[in-house]
């Protein structure tokens, strides 16, 4: 990082300063709560800035079927509650605040939230990721009026209606299947002719009588009158376009890591924070885990595991570097 790229220290804006904490965890999803559990059990009294929603993406997932220990699956919100309870049982403290800026130029490191400035000897970044946008006309205008990124949250509003699900990954097929509980018909619109989703999900989708598929197809525009009423679809092979009446468009085309505030402060690649196998970033004492640093696995179990690993390493690092 050159000196001209070195970010300026942030303006405190008269906010109260809290800490210094031994470990400050940024993010209250599976990664952050697992990091908090491990840090708490190491008696590091971690503070967790939960962000706007405790649990992150899992909190809006209807059912998690691949987290070990729950052979019959577990509701996303229920799993989050269990994570939280377990971390708090050992002394982790959760604070409803989001990091908006950081200063990693010297220890204690400083993190600016909406409510306070937090000082910490070590920081574990577990800020996760948010759904990627399709970036077509109408998407922003109709978000919350027929365009959604969460079947669990909004499926109920589409009882007996026809919806489109965009994407070809696990999320698209899993959420598409979930939406058939409410919707009359779910059309999966995917830009290629083969899915990236796992075989089991593909099989279940193919066997679901309420699901149909528009392959090699993209949405050009989303339109309506106050609420979504139609989309223009384009077949990428034939070039043909057609207007399809529709009540809802659910978009599941991947995620973007929530790492904007670390740009210029940490080494990053394609928006993801670069770490080594020990979850260490290029700044000693600053660790990153879960979807903010992981473009590959993005599972609750892997994110939770990385969070635990980051806390174990933070503990080791603090033992060697405590002032």
Say whether the peptide bond before residue 163 is cis (omega within 30 degrees of 0).
no
Give the nearer residue to ligand NAP in terms of CB position, either 123 or 300: 300
Sign of the four-CA dihedral 260, 261, 263, 266: negative
**Rule CB under 6 A: is residue 112 a binding residue for ligand NAP?**
no
Give yes or no: 150 in active site: yes
Asked whether position 138 contacts ligand NAP by CB under 6 A, the answer is no
* Cα–Cα distance for residue pair 116/112, rounded to 1 Å: 6
| Residue 192 sits in the site that holds ligand NAP (CB under 6 A) | yes
- Of the pair 154, 280, the CB lying nearest ligand NAP is at 154
Question: Is 72 in the active site?
Answer: no
Active-site residue flag, 154: yes
Task: Considering the complex, state which of residue 97 and residue 174 has its C-beta at the smaller distance from ligand NAP.
Answer: 174
Distance CA 209, CA 226 (A): 30
Task: Provide the angle, in degrees to the nearest 10, between the axes of the packed helices 30-41 and 300-321.
Answer: 40
For residue 167, state whether it binds ligand NAP (rule: CB under 6 A): yes
Establish if 304 lies at the interface with ligand NAP (CB under 6 A): no
How many separate helices (H) and strands (E) can be counted in the chain? 6, 21
| Interacting residue with ligand NAP among 19, 75, 254, 305 (CB under 6 A) | 254
Q: How far apart are the first and last CA of the chain?
A: 26
203 belongs to the binding site for ligand NAP (CB under 6 A): no
Question: Which is nearer to ligand NAP, 170 or 280 (by Cβ)?
Answer: 170
Binding-site member from 145, 161, 185, 196 for ligand NAP (CB under 6 A):
196
Q: Does 252 bind ligand NAP (CB under 6 A)?
A: yes
Catalytic site residue from 97, 154, 247, 294 = 154
Closer to ligand NAP by Cβ: residue 45 or 130:
130
Query: Nearest to ligand NAP by Cβ — which residue?
Result: 169
Could you give the C-alpha distances from 22 to 109, 217, 218, in angstroms and in order?
Answer: 10, 51, 49
Which range binds ligand NAP by CB under 6 A, 70-78, 144-152, 190-198, 206-214?
Answer: 190-198
Residue burial 228-243, b: 16+ Cβ < 10 Å; e: rest: bebbbbbeeeeeeeee
- Site residues for ligand NAP, 217-236, by CB under 6 A, read 218
CA angle, 55 then 57 then 62, to 5°: 95
The residues that are catalytic are 150, 153-154
């Amino acid at each position: 990082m050159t000196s001209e790229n070195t970010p300026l220290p942030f303006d405190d804006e008269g906010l109260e300063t809290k800490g210094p904490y031994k470990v400050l965890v940024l993010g209250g999803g599976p990664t952050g709560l697992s990091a908090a559990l491990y840090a708490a059990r190491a008696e590091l009294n971690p503070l967790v800035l939960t962000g706007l929603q405790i649990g992150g993406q899992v909190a809006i997932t209807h059912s998690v079927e691949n987290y070990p220990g729950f052979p019959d699956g577990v509701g996303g919100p229920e799993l989050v509650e269990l994570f939280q309870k377990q971390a708090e049982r050992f002394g982790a403290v959760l604070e409803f605040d989001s990091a908006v800026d950081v200063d990693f130029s010297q220890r204690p490191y400083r993190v600016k939230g909406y409510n306070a400035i937090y000082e910490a000897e070590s920081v574990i970044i577990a800020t996760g990721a948010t759904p990627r946008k399709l970036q077509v006309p109408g998407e922003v205008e109709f978000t919350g009026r027929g365009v959604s990124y969460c079947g669990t949250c909004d499926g109920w509003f589409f009882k007996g209606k026809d919806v489109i699900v965009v994407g070809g990954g696990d999320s698209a097929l899993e959420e598409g299947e979930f939406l058939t509980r409410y919707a009359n018909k779910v059309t999966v619109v995917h830009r290629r002719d083969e899915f990236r989703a796992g075989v089991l999900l593909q099989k279940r989708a193919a066997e679901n009588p309420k699901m149909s598929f528009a392959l090699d197809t993209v949405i050009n525009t989303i339109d309506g009158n106050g609420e979504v009423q139609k989309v223009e679809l384009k077949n990428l092979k034939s070039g043909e376009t057609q207007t399809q009446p529709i009540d809802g468009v659910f978009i599941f085309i991947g995620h973007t890591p929530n790492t904007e505030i670390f740009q210029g402060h940490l080494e990053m690649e394609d928006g993801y924070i670069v770490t080594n196998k020990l979850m260490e970033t290029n700044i000693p004492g600053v660790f990153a885990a879960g979807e903010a640093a992981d473009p590959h696995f993005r599972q609750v179990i892997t994110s939770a595991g990385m969070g635990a690993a980051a806390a174990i390493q933070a503990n080791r690092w603090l033992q060697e570097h405590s002032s």
